[in-house]
């Protein structure tokens, strides 16, 4: 059995808890905010935008990098190219690297999503929220499903990307101002990590690698142009910046004849040559090495001290880079054997925590008041649950630690996102024929 399969089999059984760690908290006294929906961006950000020749209402793009626990706001300059104007430490994301596949898997979405003004939720239970738009056409074509996947406040997640309230106040304002400026669709790029040669080499044996290679095409297009790529779905695949002969009839239909614009082909050719050299060097560097991707519980254990003095709902989990570790194959084998032994010693705790704290089906979660009911129905009374003991995990350093698990919060937003199509293409998407 391959080492990675050994790790994967164990980690599927590992108890998952929590959301991601916030160091970059926006400095705003929420008690002074009279209208959170219309709260202006801080003067320091407005000054930086002016310095960089970014109109206040120019378009934005949001990029999420799970492994680093970063949410970046990219904003268009007067020359129509995008630059990062603000980067935030995500406070909470649940699960592990990899896409969301089904309701209740506690995975946060990965992919390319379009956010319209209808995706903004000013009445969220988590201060403010932005619906990610999951499932999009790609997700639906591939049988992936789930509801109410948000970027929201409160620092607690069950499949969402959760920020602090101070951070979501700013992120919401960035999107609001861009929509006021006429942007009809904000692109959200939710990625597992920066898709550099070394990172791709590190995860070359991951079962999600083929999916990530597909996302990397869009990532590369953006890196080369610094403009959000045109995204389409056909043959159950993402395609980026393609000139299409005719129309794409459906996400599941075969792709029509299409081509990449010559200028983009040239730019990507140079980019890819550099990447291939870097990838070969990364393989040499990682020869005989195994990257251990931590579980959510292990990420949470790394930053457990950040929860002291706070409400249990505040659940930072730390980044995968903080809790993960690069090991030799011998070290990895010994480490995994130790973890498996620890897991076998406490099977009852794992099952109890999983069953009682995180009900696995939508029906179970609805009974416990964790899924919003549809309009016109009467919510069922929450089912009584016993208090489960906190699970014990072994960290990447081999130390046993008890990880507290907060009660899940109800999801933030029940209404499905509304797609807004614009007949006129955004000005920065200059690769299209028209």
308, burial (CB in 10 Å: exposed 0-12, middle 13-18, buried 19+):
exposed
| Per-residue model confidence (pLDDT) at position 399 | 53
**Six-digit token string for 355:** 């069953």
Check residue 194 and report its DSSP letter: -
Cis ω on the peptide bond leading into residue 171 (within 30° of 0)?
Answer: no
Rounded Cα gap, residues 2 and 6, in angstroms: 6
Residue 72 zone, left/alpha/beta (φ > 0; ψ -120 to 50; rest): beta
Rounded Cα gap, residues 367 and 359, in angstroms: 9
Cβ contact 117:421 at 8 Å:
no
**Six-digit token string for 282:** 């990364």
Catalytic site positions: 152, 160
| Per-residue model confidence (pLDDT) at position 347 | 58
| Per-residue model confidence (pLDDT) at position 374 | 35
Cis ω on the peptide bond leading into residue 135 (within 30° of 0)?
Answer: yes
Write phi, then psi, for 197 (nearest 5 degrees).
-60, -45
Residue 28 zone, left/alpha/beta (φ > 0; ψ -120 to 50; rest): beta
Cβ contact 10:2 at 8 Å:
no
| Per-residue model confidence (pLDDT) at position 290 | 93
| Per-residue model confidence (pLDDT) at position 398 | 54
Tell me the fold of 3-285.
L,D-transpeptidase catalytic domain-like (2.40.440)
Please give the helix or strand (H or E) that residue 341 lies within, else none: helix 329-345
| Per-residue model confidence (pLDDT) at position 108 | 96
**Six-digit token string for 295:** 């579980």
| Per-residue model confidence (pLDDT) at position 16 | 33
Rounded Cα gap, residues 176 and 234, in angstroms: 31
Cβ contact 96:191 at 8 Å:
no
Check residue 151 and report its DSSP letter: E
Which distant-in-sequence residues (6+ apart) come within 8 Å of 124 by Cβ?
150, 152, 153, 412, 413
Cβ contact 162:296 at 8 Å:
no
| Per-residue model confidence (pLDDT) at position 286 | 95
Over its length of 434 residues, how does the chain's per-residue pLDDT go in tens digits? Answer: 444 444 434 343 333 333 333 334 457 889 999 999 999 999 999 999 999 999 999 999 999 999 999 999 999 999 999 999 999 999 999 999 999 999 999 999 999 999 999 999 999 999 999 999 999 999 999 999 999 999 999 998 888 999 999 999 999 999 999 999 999 999 999 999 999 999 999 999 999 999 999 999 999 999 999 999 999 999 999 999 999 988 898 999 999 999 999 999 999 999 999 999 999 999 999 999 999 999 999 999 999 999 898 888 899 989 999 999 999 999 999 999 988 888 888 755 443 333 333 333 444 433 333 333 333 333 343 343 344 444 444 444 555 544 333 333 333 333 333 343 434 455 444 443 33
Angle CA 287–298–394, to nearest 5: 85
| Per-residue model confidence (pLDDT) at position 409 | 35
Instruction: Give the distance, in angstroms, between the CA of residue 102 and the centroid of all CA atoms in the same chain.
Output: 15
């Amino acid at each position: 059995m391959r080492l990675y399969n050994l790790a994967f089999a164990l980690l599927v059984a590992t108890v998952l808890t929590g959301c991601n760690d916030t160091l970059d908290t926006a400095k705003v006294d929420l008690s002074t905010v009279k209208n959170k929906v219309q709260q202006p961006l801080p003067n320091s950000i407005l000054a930086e935008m002016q310095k960089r020749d970014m109109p206040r209402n120019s378009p934005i793009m949001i990029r999420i990098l799970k492994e680093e626990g970063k949410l970046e706001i990219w904003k268009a300059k007067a020359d129509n190219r995008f630059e990062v104007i603000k980067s935030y430490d995500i406070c909470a994301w649940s699960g592990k690297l990899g896409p969301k596949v089904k309701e209740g898997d506690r995975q946060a979405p990965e992919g390319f999503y379009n956010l319209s003004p209808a995706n903004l939720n000013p009445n969220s239970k988590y201060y403010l929220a932005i619906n990610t738009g999951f499932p999009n056409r790609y997700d639906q074509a591939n049988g992936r499903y789930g509801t109410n996947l948000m970027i929201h406040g409160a620092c607690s997640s069950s499949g969402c990307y959760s920020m602090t309230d101070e951070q979501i106040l700013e992120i919401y304002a960035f999107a609001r101002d861009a929509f006021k400026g006429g942007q009809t669709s904000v692109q959200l790029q939710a990625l597992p990590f920066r898709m550099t040669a070394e990172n791709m080499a590190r995860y070359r044996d991951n079962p999600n690698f083929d999916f990530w290679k597909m996302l990397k095409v869009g990532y590369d297009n953006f890196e080369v142009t610094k403009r959000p790529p045109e995204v389409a779905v056909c043959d159950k695949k993402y395609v980026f910046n393609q000139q299409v002969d005719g129309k794409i009839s459906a996400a599941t239909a075969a792709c029509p004849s299409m081509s990449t614009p010559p200028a983009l082909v040239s730019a990507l050719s140079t980019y890819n040559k550099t990447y291939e050299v870097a990838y070969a060097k990364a393989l040499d560097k990682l020869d005989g090495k195994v990257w251990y991707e931590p579980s959510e519980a292990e990420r949470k254990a790394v930053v457990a001290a950040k929860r002291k003095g706070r409400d249990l709902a505040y659940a930072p989990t730390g980044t995968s880079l903080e809790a993960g570790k690069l090991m030799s194959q011998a070290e990895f084998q010994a480490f995994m054997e130790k973890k498996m032994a620890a897991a076998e010693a406490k099977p009852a705790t794992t099952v109890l925590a999983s069953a009682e704290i995180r009900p696995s089906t939508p029906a179970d979660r609805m009974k416990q008041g964790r899924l919003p009911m549809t309009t016109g129905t009467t919510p069922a009374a929450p089912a009584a649950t016993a208090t489960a003991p906190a699970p014990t995990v072994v960290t990447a350093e081999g130390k046993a630690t008890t990880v507290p698990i907060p009660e899940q919060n109800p999801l933030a937003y029940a209404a499905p996102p509304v797609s807004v199509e614009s007949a006129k293409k955004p000005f920065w998407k200059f690769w299209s024929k028209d």
